[in-house]
Structure 1
Amino acid sequence: MNLSKDLMAASSTPLVLGVIAEGETYGYEIVKRVEELSGGELQWTDGMLYPLLHRLEKQGYLLSRWRVGDSNRKRKYYAVTEEGRKTLCEQQQQWQIINQALNKIWRDMQRSDNNDVQFA
């Protein structure tokens, strides 16, 4: 399925903050975790992820540090700040409201479809 760019852009911040809130991590692991969470439907590129990480860091939602990982490669690891956690909580509440509204309208649409309402 091809997801719209608008939907991808709107969901990227809470997804990234949520993944990093699970524990300090680096870019490739973030991409893989998002892919796993979406059942393979979301396949992000470096060109999409790294500008977002830099923006979130500038906004004070993330901290980064260079360190050597398990594979002896130097990587930039990201962690969520307290401000980032507050933002993630706010976004979670906003997404829940949107999700509830969408689910209600879709249920209503299904009921209408089942009643075979036709317009002249």
Structure 2
Amino acid sequence: MKSISKELVGASAVPIILSVLKNGDSYGYKIVQRVKELTNGEIAWKEASIYPVLKKLENAGMIKSYWKVEENKRPRKYYTILSEGEKQLKQNMHEWNLVYSVFNTLWKVNS
């Protein structure tokens, strides 16, 4: 199967990341692995590619980062969703549901 277009992956990055964080705080590598797992490997972000998105979300006040140190492990930068991020996620959910609805209607008519 052909890989998902860069444009679609890029357009979906924010709502995907916010959705992962809505389910609990996480760090970059773990977010990448969760998305890979949820998509059966069809979306396989490179870890470094999500950090600009995380930074953008943090600068916009949608998420906040903090350092967490666990025993015998190196410190990790975790991210948590803030109320602005939850508002954005709600908006994104509405938008994606609308687009899905349009495609669903069109594809039923044309199949």
Q: Same fold (TM over 0.5)?
A: yes
Flag structure 1 segments of 5+ consecutive residues without an equivalent.
Answer: 111-120
Deviations 1:8-67 (A, max 9, x none): 111000000000110011011100110111121100012321111001100111000011
- What residue is the counterpart of 1:108 in the other structure? 109
Q: Which has the larger radius of gyration?
A: 1
- What residue is the counterpart of 2:43 in the other structure? 42
Aligned residues: 110
The change in CA–CA distance for 1:12 and 1:70 in structure 2 (over 3 A counts) is farther
Deviations 1:53-91 (A, max 9, x none): 001100111000011136522000000000000100110
- What residue is the counterpart of 2:100 in the other structure? 99
The whole-number CA distance in structure 1 between the counterparts of 2:32 and 2:78 is 13
TM-score, L = length of structure 1: 0.87
For residues 18-57 of structure 1, the aligned pairs below 5 Å read 18-57=19-58
The alignment partner of 1:39 has SS state of coil
Runs of 4+ with >6 A deviation: none
Identity %: 38
Root-mean-square deviation (CA, aligned residues, Å) is: 1.2
- What residue is the counterpart of 2:65 in the other structure? 64
The whole-number CA distance in structure 1 between the counterparts of 2:34 and 2:107 is 29
The alignment partner of 1:42 has SS state of coil
TM-score, L = length of structure 2: 0.94
Does residue 74 in structure 1 map to residue 75 in structure 2?
yes
The whole-number CA distance in structure 2 between the counterparts of 1:52 and 1:106 is 32
